[in-house]
Every structure is written in C-alpha cells, then in structure tokens.
C-alpha cells in the first residue's frame, strides 16, 4: 500500500509540472491552455513516455492498468472525476441564471436538434463503413457517442475569455447539459435494447420498461434542478450561518459532491448534478465569494482533469490505416453534426451567423463523455478493439481540433445575438477622483462601508480592479481605476449607493481634518535633512544620466524650472506625455513645496508615464525661490519620476536627503562645472561613503 501511494505521489507531481508547463507554453503561442494540458497527458501517458521504465518503477510511472483494462489507475481517474465536478460546479456559479432561463427554450431546441443530427450521422457512419444495420447495437452506440458534448473543455475556454455569462456561453452550457442527459438516456435505452435481444428468456423488447426508465431519468434531472433553484436563497442563508468564507465555500462544494452522487446513483452523469448545484447557488449573494475562495482548489484539480483525459487517448491508433480512415470519417461527421445541427437551429432562433457559429463550435468537443460511453460499449462487449479505437480517435480529433476554433470565434467583441434580451434597467454611476493618489484610499473606505452593511465582496484584478458586491437581491459591479470609480447597478439602488459614497467621502474629510491637527508636515519635512545616519544611501550615480543634467538652468521661476527639467527628459525619450507629467508634478507642488534646505529642491511624482525611474538634475548659480524650509533660494534641483509600482522612489528621496545633510556638500554640488563632475559627487566606494 505504501509503495502504491508513493507511486501516486510521484504521478501527481509529474502531472502538475507537465500540465502547468504545457499550459503556459500553449498560452505563449496563442493557443488555449487546455489544449496544452491534453497534449501533456498524451505525452506522459501510458501509451508513450509513461510506460518507459525509470529507477524504482520498472513498468514506468504511468503503466497501463491491465487489471481493469483501462489506461490509468483508479486513483488518477478518481482525481479527474473530482476535478470535473469542480469545473462544472464553477461553470454553474458563473452562469447568469436570468440569462439561463431566458435561453432555456432555445437551449433545449439547440441541444435536441444537435443530439438528433449527431445521432443520425454517427449511426450512419457505422452503416456505411462497417456495414452494420442501422438498428444494430453497434450503430446505435456510435450514434450515442456522437450525441454527447464534452462541455468541460468549452467551459475552460469560455472562462479564460470571460464569456461564460454571454448568451452564447449560456446556450452552449445549457444545450450541452441537455445533450448529456439525452446521451445518458439514449445509452440506457440502447443497453437495455441490447440486453433484451441477447437475453435467452426475452421474446422481444420491453418498450414500456425502457420508456419508463428514460422518463425517470429526465424527471429526476428536472426535479432536482427546480428544487435547488427554488430553495437557493434558503441554502445560501443556511451556509452564511457559518460566517467564515472558506468554511461555507467548502460546504457549498460538499453540496455539489452530494448532488453529483445523487445524479450518478440515478443514472445521470455526476457532473450534471454539480452544474445544477452551481447554477442554483449563482442566485445567492455568496456565489462570487465561493468561487473566489475555492479558486485554489480549481487551480490544483482542473489541470489534472485535462491531463488525465489526455492519458486516455492512445496515439498508436494512428498507425492502423483502417482505424484511422474510419476515425477521420467518424470525427468529421461528429464535428459537422454539431456545427450544422446546433448552429443552424441557433441561427433560426435568436442568434446571428457569428453567434450560431460560436455555439456550433462550442458543442463540438466530445472527450470524456464519449470515452465513457465507448467504455461502456467495450465493457458490454458491443465494441471490439477496432470500433473502440475509432471512437477514441473521434474523441481525440474533436477534442484537439475544436479548442483553437472556439477560442478564435470568441476573440471578437461583436455580439452574437440578433437582439439583446431585455433586462432590468441598469444605470452607471461615475465618481471622478481628481487626485489619483486618493483612489485606493477612497475605494478602501467605500468597500469597508459595504462590508459593514453585510455585503459580500469579491475583487478581480484585470487591468482595472473589478469589485463584485452582493447581498440578497442587490448586485453591484464597481470598477476602480486611478482617476474614477464606476458603479453599475439597478436603477432602484442608486439612492443607497449614493448614501454609501456620501458617508465614505464624509468620513475621509473628517479623517483629513484630524490628520492636519495631528501631523506636522513642516517639521517632518525638516527631518529629511536632519542629522543622523540612514540605511538608504544607495548609489545615485546609476540613476543619473549626464545627458539629463542641465548646468546652468535658464529658468528664473519655480514652474519654469520644473518644465525645463521635464523637457530634457522628454527630449531623451524618457517620458510619454509631457503635459500629463508636468501637470502631475505641479499638482504635487501645490500640496506642499518640495523645496527643502541647504539649497536643495526635489520635485517628484509617481506616474504611469514612465516605465522606470528617471532623474533630471539642474543647477542654478544664482538660486531660485522654491519656497524652501530655510527661506533661502534653491540651487540644486532633482526632478524624480518613478513608475507607480515596484520602484525605489522613496529610497531615492531618502538617499538624496542623506547626501544633502551637510551644507558643504550642497555647496560643492552647486558649484559643479559639468555633468560628469556632478555625478562623481554621488558615487560611493565600497564602504558607502561619498567621494568629495
């Protein structure tokens, strides 16, 4: 047992390294990461590298599971099953229920037409290529394999593109769930049909028994879907009793596992049960919190799922010309049946040509569902190695070919529907922030007030930061940038939002008044050049460019000095927009002058207009009034521009202050004859002392 678990530990380690590495590589070459994970599984699986002996594992790290006639071990397949539950649970959480209901009838039409078209083409492939009768078990199972859609791959691509809650995304997921249910019903009927024909005591097909079984499966699916949706708010309320976000998030996932178990016991794929539970919880105010809390779980498990799916595919079947030919024909029919069957119906109902193509392509992948059905056919001895190989090849081709086209179809931001669905009236509230430095402080205060009111907040960093704010039926989306805050909400919630904003701004105003009475900025400013040691004595010379040193300055006034220094940086290509930088530096000066003492002035600002720290230095022999602390003219000017994040901006300021503590040093710098002489004053020897 210990040896067995040791091997499993090595397997998981290799799978994670391979899947994550392949995912990163494929993203770099502009392909979906899921495709890289699948290919990683094929490469390290039991049919290629996995069977090569390595020290400690004479049969290879991923040997073929001969005892069960299955490519991977039960442990790995169990991990993949849990991962598929997480994936579909997440997709349910991300689904907009109102859009789901709006597109439920179209999804039924799309799913049924796609399933029917796929069934007919799949069965006829068997008739034409294998010479089997249309009503033979083999032909019917080929039709059944062609029906089901492997929504997990499409969901991953939609999630990466943030397209799950679009009309096309909702329709694909809904139609795929319907296809899976129809596929399971069809499988049950066909296997019952096969058993009735092979039974020695049976004289015919028990149509009523088969029909009753099919209706039971559909009834269970509809019953639990309606039950969970109608009780979603009560479920959410019960989960919130536990208060801790991680606790109720894990409990929500346990409900998804439980629902998956119920569906599996009822003869329906457990991933359908997980999706149903996620869809129900998407109605609650904790849906974003659950997904955010469980995202590390998904980051760990989901790549394992797609890598294990890749391991099930045997690339050696490409060596058999007969299987390859049949597999290609079957795959082409399977792809065509979904693109045409689902796409044509979508076009006739609500979608334009672009949206119909997206839906058709999104329904193409088969992978795990097709492999499961093919596995059942093999277990029931309906398929032999040849027919099973063709089925696996169809799953492989549809799985590998579809993702790039799905991803490409969703790159465009153009709408895929003929007419947008009506929704409750939403408005956009805009709050301008004149001082970008205040942005994070204001946002923090606003979010804190929402939190105190019992709202659940989930934040996503993607360019601007997006905050999803939910409580009961209230749902807000707040987008925060440097100079503005945008809130999208229902019209009836405007008053409440304005109240929150007013109280937040009022609190900040009161805080600033207290800060003025407590803080003494002038005294603090004097401390910059006070006596004492400092650890921030960095080598300033590496930030000083001789071409950005002006001796002497032509300016005679403060604003002119700043503009002259900005101009020299602009002329050397150091900044992107002079007007914006100049405005930012002057706004900083209005707050408090950067004129210090000992003839030093250090105008500075953090800005998005530079990618790294840039310094311009100027010297005025006669001195310029810069409102310095000692009321004496400033002669040495450092203009420091730093990027907003990850730069030693304050360290440079502290280091300059440390250099200019000594009056004689200031006088020597002010008397510099050229740039090289000035920069030499800031070079340090090994002990960190200034060279004077």
pLDDT digits (tens, 9 = 90+) for 389-415: 788 788 778 877 887 888 788 877 778
Residues of the chain short of pLDDT 50, as ranges, are: 199-204, 531-534, 536, 685-692
Quick: pLDDT tens for 658-685. Answer: 778 778 888 888 888 888 888 888 775 3
Q: What residue ranges define each of the domains in the chain, with the CATH number in brackets?
A: 85-287+322-409 (1.20.1530.20), 426-518 (3.30.160.110), 531-680 (3.40.930.10)
Q: Which helix (H) or strand (E) holds 600?
A: strand 600-601
Three-state DSSP state, 411: coil
- CA-based Rg of the chain, rounded to a whole angstrom? 33
Please answer whether residues 192 and 209 qualify as being in contact, where contact means their C-beta atoms are separated by less than 8 angstroms: yes
Task: Label residue 57 exposed, middle or buried (CB < 10 Å: 0-12, 13-18, 19+).
Answer: middle
Q: Smallest Cα–Cα separation from 163: which of 463, 411, 421?
A: 411
Give the count of alpha carbons within 13 A of 320, CB side only. Answer: 15
* Sign of torsion over alpha carbons 12, 15, 18, 21: negative
Residue 455 CB contacts under 8 Å (≥ 6 apart), including other chains = 285, 469, 470, 471, 474
User: Could you give the 3-state DSSP secondary structure of residue 381?
Assistant: coil
- CA–CA gap between residue 565 and residue 337 (Å, rounded): 67
For the stretch 523-542, pLDDT in tens is 555 555 554 444 545 777 78
DSSP per residue, 101-124 = HHTHHHHHHHHHHHHHHHHHHHHH
What percentage of residues in the chain have a pLDDT greater than 70?
Answer: 81
CA–CA separation, 690 vs 541, rounded Å?
11
> Quick one: which of 160, 185, 189, 164 has its CA closest to 174?
164
Q: What is the mean pLDDT of the chain?
A: 79
Task: Determine the Cα angle at 480 with ends 479 and 482, to 5°.
Answer: 150
Q: Please tell me the predicted confidence (pLDDT) of residue 202.
A: 46
Mind listing the pLDDT tens digit for each residue in 93-143? Answer: 876 666 566 666 788 888 889 889 999 999 998 888 888 888 788 888 888
pLDDT for position 688: 39
Distances in Å between the alpha carbon of 503 and those of 447, 466, 499?
Answer: 12, 21, 6
pTM tops 0.75: no
């Amino acid at each position: 047992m210990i040896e067995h678990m040791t091997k499993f530990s090595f397997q998981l380690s290799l799978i994670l390294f391979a899947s994550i590495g392949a995912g990163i590589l494929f993203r770099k070459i502009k392909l979906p990461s899921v495709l890289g994970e699948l290919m990683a599984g094929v490469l390290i699986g039991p049919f290629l590298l996995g069977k090569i002996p390595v020290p400690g594992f004479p049969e290879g790290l991923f040997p073929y599971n001969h005892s069960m006639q299955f490519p991977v071990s039960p442990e790995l397949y169990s991990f993949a099953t849990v991962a598929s539950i997480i994936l579909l649970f997440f997709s349910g959480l991300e689904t907009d229920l109102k859009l789901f209901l709006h597109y439920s009838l179209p999804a039924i039409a799309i799913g049924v037409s796609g399933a029917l078209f796929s069934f007919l083409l799949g069965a006829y492939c068997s008739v034409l290529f294998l010479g089997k009768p249309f009503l033979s078990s083999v032909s019917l199972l080929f039709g059944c394999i062609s029906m089901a859609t492997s929504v997990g791959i499409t969901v991953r691509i939609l999630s990466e593109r943030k397209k799950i809650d679009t009309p096309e995304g909702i329709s694909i997921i809904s139609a795929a769930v319907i296809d899976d249910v129809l596929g399971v019903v069809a499988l049950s009927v066909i296997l019952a049909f096969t058993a009735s024909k092979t039974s020695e005591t049976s004289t015919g097909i028990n149509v009523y028994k088969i029909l009753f079984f099919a209706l039971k499966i559909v009834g269970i699916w509809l019953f639990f879907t309606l039950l969970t949706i109608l009780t979603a708010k009560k479920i959410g309320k019960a989960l919130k009793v536990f208060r801790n976000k991680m606790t109720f998030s894990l409990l929500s996932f346990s409900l998804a596992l439980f629902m998956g178990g119920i569906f599996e016991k009822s003869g329906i794929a457990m991933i359908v049960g997980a999706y149903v539970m996620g869809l129900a919880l998407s109605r609650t105010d904790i849906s974003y919190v659950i997904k955010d809390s469980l995202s590390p779980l998904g980051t760990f498990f989901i790549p394992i799922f797609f890598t294990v799916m890749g391991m099930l595919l045997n690339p050696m079947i490409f060596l058999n010309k007969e299987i390859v030919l049949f597999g290609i024909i079957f795959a082409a029919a399977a792809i065509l049946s979904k693109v045409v069957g689902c796409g044509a119906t979508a076009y006739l109902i609500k979608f334009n040509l672009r949206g119909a193509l997206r839906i058709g392509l999104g329904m193409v992948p088969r992978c795990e569902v097709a492999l499961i059905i093919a596995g059942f056919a093999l277990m029931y001895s309906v398929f032999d190695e040849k027919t099973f190989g063709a089925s696996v090849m169809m799953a492989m081709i549809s799985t590998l070919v579809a993702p790039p086209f799905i991803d490409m179809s969703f790159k465009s931001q153009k709408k895929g529907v003929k007419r947008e669905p009506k929704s409750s009236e939403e408005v956009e509230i805009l709050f301008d922030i004149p001082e970008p430095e205040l942005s994070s402080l204001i946002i923090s205060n606003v979010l804190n007030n929402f939190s105190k009111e019992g709202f659940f907040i989930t934040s996503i960093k993607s360019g601007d930061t997006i905050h999803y704010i939910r409580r009961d039926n209230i749902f807000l989306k707040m987008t925060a940038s440097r100079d503005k805050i945008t809130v999208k909400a229902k019209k009836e919630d405007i008053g409440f939002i304005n109240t929150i904003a007013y109280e937040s701004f009022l609190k900040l105003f009161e805080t600033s008044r207290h800060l003025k009475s407590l803080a003494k900025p002038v005294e603090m400013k004097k401390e910059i050049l006070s006596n004492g040691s400092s650890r921030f004595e960095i080598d300033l010379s590496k930030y000083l460019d001789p071409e950005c040193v002006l001796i002497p300055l032509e300016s005679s006034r403060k604003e002119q000095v700043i503009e002259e220094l900005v101009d020299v940086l602009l002329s050397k290509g150091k900044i992107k927009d002079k007007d914006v930088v100049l405005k930012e530096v002057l706004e900083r000066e209005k707050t408090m002058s950067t004129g210090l003492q000992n003839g030093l002035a250090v105008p500075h600002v953090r800005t998005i207009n530079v990618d790294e720290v840039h310094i311009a230095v100027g010297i005025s022999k006669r001195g310029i009034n810069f409102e310095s602390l000692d009321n004496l003219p400033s002669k040495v000017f450092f203009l420091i521009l730093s990027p907003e994040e990850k730069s030693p901006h304050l360290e440079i300021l502290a280091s300059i202050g440390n250099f200019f503590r000594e009056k004689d040093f200031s006088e020597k710098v002010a008397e510099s004859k050229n740039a090289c002489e000035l920069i030499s004053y800031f070079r340090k020897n090994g002990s960190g002392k200034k060279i004077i």
